[in-house]
Chain A
Amino acid sequence: MGVLPRTLPDPWRSPLRGPRFTAVLGLVLLVGMTLLFVTGLLSYAAYNPNLAAVNDKTPGKGLLGFYLFSWPTDPHWLYRLTQGLHVTVGVALVPVLLAKLWSVVPKLFTLPPARSIGHALERLSLLLLVGGALFEFVTGILNVQLDYLFPGSFYPLHFYGAWVFISAFIVHAVLRVPQALRVLRERKAGLPETGELVPAKPAEPTVSRRGAFAMVGAGSLLLLVTTAGQSIGGVWRSTALLAPHGGADPGTGPGRFQINKTAAVAGIRTADTGEPWRLVVTGPKGAVHRLTRDDLLQLPQHTSALPIACVEGWSTDDQHWSGVRLRDLAALAGTDGDTDVFVESLQQHGAFRKAALRHNQVHDPRSLLALRVNGADLTLDHGYPARVIVPAAPGVLNTKWVARMTFGAL
């Protein structure tokens, strides 16, 4: 048996690699990933999962729901902002994450695989960090494109995956941020770059570090510009060339704005939405009202300018809805107008064909059972004959094709 060489020929020759390159990318991700995690937690809170089982896609959350709170209705664009940031920033961070992983990939192949128990444990933690980050990005990016390849429901995968990721992320940040700041201070002081990421035999550079950062930044900018318009709306929607809800709005006339699920896919039959349709309103004392659409139009009508904002990150501009205030319907049902409501749709398919709204949402004067939008009757795709619209609530809680509303404490 021949004598093994003391060091393996080093295939990692890019002169870009080094602790300073990694440190800059790491600090960008420190801010970016923290923002993604916080906005993700807010999105879960926005569903009011503790209000009713139908709102909660991760009922086994246990202590991971420790922070939940009643989702407010002000400002009315709150969910547009938090979820728009979550998805848009997530998409724009893809090149930063890839560059960061590229910068440390030689460490994956270091030999021996572990030099001590502590090192072995840290590497196991890095598997959770890298696997968790990629798992979250892949599930999120597939979900916003409605390509549900992943094994199971999106909500538990993305929510629990986020907690596995963040557990490793916090440790990594505590252990590495001081080091990142140190190597950047050393650069400022003009000291030479040292460390295990510096290639032993660097190749001729084909791009400067500044050029590499510019390339990553250009990638983020391009993704941002071709995505953000689906959340910002207005004329910017036309710049969102590759975002799922960018480009021209679907439909025509007053109902021309983004649709989460069409009537066709929700299994709405026109027979159910026509003349025989009745809204069933019930209260805690057993009062039952069956209202036709004309009955509803006879009740005091109010107008609210509110957006639709989806968990997938897209949203619409404020649309002008008109209809009956939820609190008026709550009063009709024999409550004081400040109570929860359980809403059921005609929908035959869809995870949110039943949804619960909290008393602060019912009580808000802008919350409506909308009958019309932008001066015309609702279109079938936007929930004709009647739909819920609540300020700052995630889109799926604004139930379309409403069939029954049950007021009372849930």
Chain B
Amino acid sequence: MNRLSRWYGESPLQLPLLAASFALAGYAGVRLLENDPWAVAVWFVGAALVHDLLLVPVYSLADVAAQKALGDRSRRTTMYVRVPAFLSGLLLLVWFPLITRARADHFALVTGHSGDAFLPRWLLLTAALFAASALWFVAVTFLAPASPWRQARRARREERARERERERQRRKETKERPPSDH
């Protein structure tokens, strides 16, 4: 028994659960595949494969590329690009048949709505998302008292002041040096 359970490898609850699940999935699956088994199976398995092997790598690489393009600043600025791009891309992913006007004429004929409104609306939403993100970036970077830009400016001023002070000190020392040291 011990050897058997080691060979099976999972908890004893799992096997009956999975058996019941596969039986139900089979009962529904036979009906799902009834009319066009190959095409439906391709859609079913293909949905998972397209997601895992195409969609995930594409958006992951796009994210890495954006970070590379932003260079040293990426840690601070990535989110200002990533968030609006993600939101806009999400809207496109869900509503691409309407946005790309894939069947705009059919849509208009059936519903009485124009099929042309969705692309401009998506473009305007995308513009608004990036504009809001840019405004936020400006506000956080330049306007807030604790913003990195203001802190950097303050640091530069203080550095220049310290530099001037050191310069004055050096001149003073040179002037007061005894002649024998020349």
**Which residues of A are in contact with B by a Cβ distance under 8 Å?**
58, 60-64, 91, 94-95, 101-102, 105, 108, 115-119, 121-122, 124-125, 127-128, 130-132, 134-135, 138-139, 141-142, 145-147, 150-153, 156-157, 160-161, 163-164, 167-168, 170-171, 174-175, 204, 206-207, 211, 215, 218-219, 222-223, 226, 241-242, 244-245, 247, 250-251, 258-262, 264-265, 381
Contacts and interface: CB of A to CB of B under 8 A. Distances in A.
Given A167-B28, A207-B79, A222-B87, A118 B98 contact: no
Given A135-B43, A151-B39, A94 B93 contact: yes
Given A60-B31, A135-B43, A146 B107 contact: yes
Contacts of A206: 67, 74-75, 78-79, 82
B1 to A, nearest CB: 15
A146 B13 CA distance: 43
7 contacts: A64-B31, A134-B47, A141-B94, A163-B28, A218-B87, A251-B112, A259-B112
A263 B6 CA distance: 66
A152 B87 contact: no
A310 B20 CA distance: 35
Contacts of A130: 48, 51-52
B18 A121 contact: yes
Given A116-B9, A151-B36, A152-B40, A125 B21 contact: yes
Interface of B: 7-10, 13-15, 17-18, 20-22, 24-25, 27-29, 31-32, 34-36, 39-40, 42-45, 47-48, 51-52, 56, 67, 74-75, 78-79, 82-83, 86-87, 90-91, 93-95, 97-99, 102-103, 106-107, 109-113, 117-118, 121-122, 125
A135 B125 CA distance: 28
Given A151-B35, A259-B112, 9 more contacts: A94-B93, A102-B56, A121-B18, A141-B94, A146-B97, A146-B111, A156-B31, A161-B32, A167-B21
B21 A108 contact: no
Contact of B18 (A91, A171, A244): A171
Contacts of A91: 94
Given A138-B47, A262-B110, A215 B102 contact: no
A141 B87 CA distance: 17
B18 A146 contact: no
Contacts of B24: 163, 167
A152 B36 contact: yes
Nearest to B122: A242
Contacts of A60: 31, 34
A174 B94 CA distance: 30
A392 B36 CA distance: 34
A54 B113 CA distance: 28
Contacts of A207: 78-79, 82
Nearest to B109: A265
Contact of A164 (B25, B42, B93): B25
Contact of A135 (B10, B35, B44, B95): B44
Contacts of B67: 206
Contacts of B91: 222-223, 226, 242
Contacts of B42: 151
A158 to B, nearest CB: 10
A262 B17 contact: no
A223 B90 contact: yes
A323 to B, nearest CB: 22
